[in-house]
Structure 1
Amino acid sequence: MGMRDELFSKWIEAMKEVKFPVSSVDEVYAGLPKGAESNISVGGLVVCNTGDLFGRFIKPTDFPIESAQALANLILDRAGL
């Protein structure tokens, strides 16, 4: 499994409690166990922080976002993965 696939799977799992569609990053944070302080790890290493990712790659004009898959793809595309 490549890095993109692994990160995609981790994001989908992390967002299982988020109620889509969402209209803001705050709605996503509300469904994450640690909100903006949530981290995604690959191979035991923290590779990204949710708050940092959203600050870098998500724009207010991206909303509404219809699904966890759409959000994960948006972030991964903009991150160049």
Structure 2
Amino acid sequence: MRDELYAKWIEAMKGVKFPVSSVDEVYAGLPKGAQSNISVGGIVVCNTGDLFSRFIKPTDFPIESAHALATMILDRAGL
């Protein structure tokens, strides 16, 4: 599941201009901002706003790439 979620996150963040210095900069590049969802097998498994509020801290910024952000979220979520 980690690989599939990772790939979906990378795809979803292709509109984000990295490096980013806040979650708002990430939201600005996502199609639905904080309301964006990631689905696996047609089932919504996570909401961007919920994930960021749980796993991303202001001290994590700047974040240099989509790869770094996706890895950080998945590691902290225990996936």
Asked whether the two chains share a fold, i.e. TM above 0.5, the reply is yes
Residue 8 of structure 2 is matched in structure 1 by 10
* Count of aligned residue pairs for this structure pair: 79
Distance 1:34 1:19 in 2: 16
Distance 1:27 1:70 in 2: 15
Report Cα offsets for 1:7-29 as digits up to 9, x if no partner: 00000000000000000000000
Distance 2:75 2:31 in 1: 24
Length-normalised TM-score, structure 1: 0.97
Report Cα offsets for 1:2-49 as digits up to 9, x if no partner: x00000000000000000000000000000000000000000000000
**Identity fraction in percent:** 89
Length-normalised TM-score, structure 2: 1.00
Superposition CA RMSD, Å: 0.2
Matched letter for residue 78 of structure 2? G
Q: What stretches of structure 2 of length at least 5 have no aligned partner?
A: none
User: Residue 56 of structure 2 is aligned with which of 52, 55, 58?
Assistant: 58
